[in-house]
Amino acid sequence: MTLDTTLNRDISKLFPSASLSREITKELGTTLAYSYRIDRPNYSSLNPFVYYLDPFTYERGNPSLTPAFTHSMKFSLTYEKQPFFNVEYKITKDAMVELTEQDDEKGESNLTTVNLESFKNLNISLFFPIEIKGISGYGGFIANH
């Protein structure tokens, strides 16, 4: 069945980004960054039709999805202009996440994308050079909350 429906979502906003860097010593520096971003849903997430993966599993779109808007703040310490320690905090309004639902009566499960009212993320990372028997690279630790 064809629905004669149009959803208009005009977005008239600015999405600024700014970054400040400062050298502390010749090798050590800091960077402070801010950005405001938009993440728009893709077509398949909006398409309301059902796509069967097998007789008991399907995906369905969600035409009610709205874009996600994220404020991101990041502080970095750099060594020789390469970041080695970062603290980043993000606040997202209407974050899009995949949700799996199960219908026990029909024996079916489905996957759809929905909006969360808000999502907050704290990320801390520490990176360091590694050199073992002539092989060099980087290692690191990343913590997310």
- For residue 75, pLDDT over 90 is answered with yes
Task: Give the tokens for residue 75.
Answer: 């502080």
Per-residue pLDDT tens digits for 18-58: 999 999 999 999 999 999 999 999 888 888 888 888 988 99
| Beta bridge pairs of residue 54 | 57
What does DSSP assign to residue 41?
Answer: P
pLDDT of residue 2: 61
The amino acid occupying position 31 is: T
Share of the chain above pLDDT 70, in %: 98
Its pTM surpasses 0.75: yes
